[in-house]
Amino acid sequence: MDDQQIVSSLPCFHDLTFAEFQRLFGPWAPYDPPAVAHLFAEAAFPWWIGGGWAVEAVTGNCREHEDIDVVVLRRDLPQVRGHLAGFHLWSAHRGTLAPLLPGTDLPPDHEQLWVRRDAYSPWVLDVLLTPAEGEDWLYKRDHRLRRPLAEVGFVATDGLRYLRPDVVLLFKARLARAKDAADFDTLLRWLDAEAKSWLATALDLTEPGHPWIDRLREPPAAPSD
């Protein structure tokens, strides 16, 4: 049996319970944002922290984190692999995991890498690859949606770089998990008029009819007396 047959015979990790996943693939012990910042301090490519940690960076409200998302540009993948040469990288694609061995190419439709030191160590990072063109960030699910790279992130009060909350919510909109709905409810009051308008327009294009659109376009509540 070759490597591809072994990978294809593994169960989809989305179908596993947490305990089953850990028995098969090993545990997660994700870095926190300061550890990510230390790891990428000398990186020669842009990166941002996304997901739930970006939500927390905006609101200041602590929440549980199963992992940590680090977003990089797909075109910077060779530099990313070089920077993480001391780690094992695995491609997470459609519920399957496969090692990305040195000297092998990542298939063009694969866009997520799990990172750990070795097979005896826990997973520490979830690296997300995002497309770009020139100085524009492109939404991976619909390249008609783009914005300047300089506008996709922000520096939080801890001095670290995170994805903007409206960009984070765009990715969460399609997932429609309970925690994504909770994050939208939490972040809505933190979005300014420009961010609400951008996200509503983006959802009109990519997720027409999404229930968040009307809420984003609701007029602000009148101040109480």
What is the value of pTM for the model shown?
0.88
Task: Kindly report the average pLDDT of the chain as a whole number.
Answer: 90
Report whether 209 contacts 225 (CB < 8 A). Answer: no
Q: What is the pLDDT at residue 1?
A: 35
Contact (CB, 8 A) for 161 and 67: no
Exposed (0-12), middle (13-18) or buried (19+): which is 116, by Cβ within 10 Å? buried
pLDDT of 120: 94
Q: What is the pLDDT of residue 7?
A: 43
Q: Which residues contact 136 (CB under 8 A, 6 or more apart)?
A: 146, 147, 148, 149
Contact indicator for 51, 35 with CB cutoff of 8 Å: no
Residue 6 has what pLDDT?
A: 36
Contact 200, 213 (CB under 8 A): yes
Mean pLDDT, residues 111-131: 96
Q: Compute the chain's Rg from CA coordinates.
A: 18
Q: Go through the domains of the chain in sequence order and give each one's CATH number.
A: 3-163 (3.30.460), 165-218 (no CATH)
Tokens at 69, concatenated? 């998302």
Distance CA 138, CA 222 (A): 36
